[in-house]
Amino acid sequence: MPDIKRFSALFPAMLVLAAAIAWQAGANTASQRPPAQPTAVATIDIVKIFEQLNERTVLENQLDERRKARQSQLEEVNRQIRAIQEDLETTLKPGTDAYKERVREFMEQRAVAEARRTALEQIISIDRGAVRRQLYEKMREAVTKIADRDSIDIVLFDDSGFEVPSNASDNDVFRAIVTKGVIYTHPTVDLTQRVITLMNNEYTAP
């Protein structure tokens, strides 16, 4: 009977010891596994890619033509405003009904011009954003093709060339540092020119 009591008292300690032995065995096994294969990493300079795409030049020229067409509509309103101002300054007599009516027209046309100017800026910004998104999606496709072909696992945006600002506040300098994704990259892992070449070739291909 005393042996049973002694065994019961020692049983929790034996469980702890057994668990410790099992954990150590697992740790030893894990430390003995073969190392993972090296990960193939490459980088791209997105800014440089956008700057050298033939399609971007064509799309931005189209945007500029549409901007000029909308700008001409705004200029027509501005011409009406200048004509009203000329009447108020040289033709109509202040205080008359005709003068008051022309002042009302001036205020209306000025409000129309301001609204059109604001709308024009927003439309241009949205159009440019759509073009940039379109080119970005095509860039992703080109990067994927090159990465799949060359067995590259990860492609990073190389921002190592972006300088930390000088003569800036501590917050601005700190933000510029902590938001960096890449500190250094060797030129041999840069896919930028290959992506540009592939995208330009695909764009000009029949």
Could you give the dihedral angle defined by the CA atoms of residues 94, 97, 100 and 105, in that order, rounded to the nearest 10 degrees?
-130
Q: What is the pLDDT of residues 134-154, one digit of tens each?
A: 999 999 999 999 999 999 999
Query: Hey, which residues does 43 pair with through a beta bridge?
Result: 156, 190
pLDDT at 116: 84
pLDDT at 7: 46
Query: At what angle are helices 97-150 and 54-86 packed, to 10 degrees?
Result: 170
pTM for the whole structure: 0.67
26, pLDDT greater than 80: no
pLDDT at 15: 52
Other CB atoms within a 10 A radius of the CB of residue 44 amount to: 23
**Rounded mean pLDDT of 175-191?**
90
